Amino acid sequence: MEENKINMPLLGDEFPNLNEVQTTHGAMNLPQDLKGQWFVLFSHPADFTPVCTTEFVAFQKRYHEFKALNCKLIGMSVDQVFSHIKWVEWIKSELGIEIEFPIIAANDSLAMKLGMLHPGKGSNTVRAVFIVDPESKVRLIMYYPQEVGRNIDEVVRAVKALQTSDQQQGAIAAGWPNNELIGDRVIVPPATSEADAQKRTETYDCYDWWFCHKPLEK
């Protein structure tokens, strides 16, 4: 019973060790094999299903965008690896799209470890997305129900936003880089003292001392 306990990682946690998991590209050890780079691990309910097929095509269409961000893609469901292989072959032969990223063949225990099995949905994994940084820390988690496909452009944007936040030492606005108020600018971290608050409007562009922003450094 303890083996199937849901113990999903939280934001800021180290991504759980997944040792010798079977994938369509051979065995992998996560996060060790991807230490030093970003990766996106996303789960799908099942192979050979319409919504999941549209998602895999969409991820592959943006494969080089993720690659340019030094970010690996990894798919996952509880289907066996031969099912993954056959599905990937079908996508290539019928849709003309070659899936270049690996797909993990998870078991129920592994899926439960990541909180990817919905108690009321049988053995199908939910549509989860984990964005993990080069230090193997979980930085963002998204969950979608089985009936709604993901917006893959948002996953790309989220990786870019996290990287930009780290590099620019600031926060990222809604809809970045096309925010309605400040465009692609970076929000300055909150003031930590009254003296700092008073200097804010002299140093940065501000709506008020608590809402200041700076240009995106190229």
Length of the chain: 218
pTM of the model: 0.91
pLDDT computed for residue 160 by the predictor: 98
Share of the chain above pLDDT 70, in %: 93
State whether the Cα torsion 199-205-206-211 is positive or negative: negative
Share of the chain above pLDDT 90, in %: 73
pLDDT computed for residue 121 by the predictor: 57
Measured distance CA(192)–CA(38) in Å, rounded: 31
Q: For residue 194, is pLDDT > 60?
A: yes
Measured distance CA(210)–CA(200) in Å, rounded: 8
Choosing from 52, 71, 206, 212, the catalytic residue is 52
**In the chain, what are the domains?**
2-149 (3.40.30.10), 169-214 (3.30.1020.10)
Residue 3: pLDDT band by 50, 70, 90 thresholds?
A: very low
Chain centre to alpha carbon of residue 74: 10
Average pLDDT, the chain: 91
- Write the DSSP symbol of residue 162: H
The most confident of 7-11, 33-37, 75-79, by mean pLDDT:
33-37
pLDDT tens digits for 54-86?
Answer: 999 999 999 999 999 999 999 998 889 999 999
pLDDT tens digits for 103-145?
Answer: 999 887 777 777 776 665 555 677 899 999 999 999 999 998 8
According to DSSP, the residues that pair with 41 across neighbouring strands are 74, 130
Sheet holding 18-23, edge to edge: 26-30, 18-23, 103-105, 71-77, 38-43, 127-132, 138-144
| CA neighbours closer than 13 Å in the CB half-sphere of residue 80 | 2
Measured distance CA(196)–CA(209) in Å, rounded: 9
Distances (CA, A) of 16 to 95, 96, 132: 34, 35, 11
According to DSSP, the residues that pair with 147 across neighbouring strands are none
Active site residue 52: yes
Q: Is 17 helix (H, G, I), strand (E, B) or coil?
A: coil
